Amino acid sequence: MTKAVLLVGHGSRRSEANKALFELQNYVQLLRPQEYVKVSFMEAAEPDVATAISELNSQGKTEITVVPVFLYNGIHITEDLPAILDAVKAKHPQLNIKLAAVLGIDQRLAEIVWERVDAAF
C-alpha cells in the first residue's frame, strides 16, 4: 500500500498533551485498519511534519493526505503548513501530497459539548 494519512497537531511541551493525538490516531486507524495513519506536530513535539513525511517516503508511501487536527484556519494552517508542504514537495517531487481541510467546527461537536456539560454536574 502506497497511501498514508498524516494527522497534524499543534504540539505541546507537555508530553501528556501530545498523547491525545496518538489516541486519535488509534481511533482513526480502527475505522480503517487497512490504511496507514501517522502523527506529526507543528511545534514543540516530534516528529515534525517534514520529518514525518520523509519517514513515510522511506516506507514507500507516495500518496499522503495531510489532515490538520485543528478547529479553525489559523496561521499554522493558512501559512505555516502550506509552506512546509511546498518545501517537502520540492525535496520529494515524486510524492503526491494533499492537504485536507481542518477538522473544524462540525455539528457533531455540539453533542460532545453537551455530554461534557452534563458530566460536569
Which residues are catalytic, by number?
Answer: 10
Assigned C-alpha cell, 16? 501528556
Nearest Cα residue to 85 out of 70, 73, 67, 105: 67
Q: Strand locations in the chain, DSSP E? A: 3-9, 37-41, 63-68, 96-99
CB atoms within 10 A of CB 95: 18
Assigned C-alpha cell, 10? 499543534
Is residue 57 within 8 Å of 36, Cβ to Cβ? no
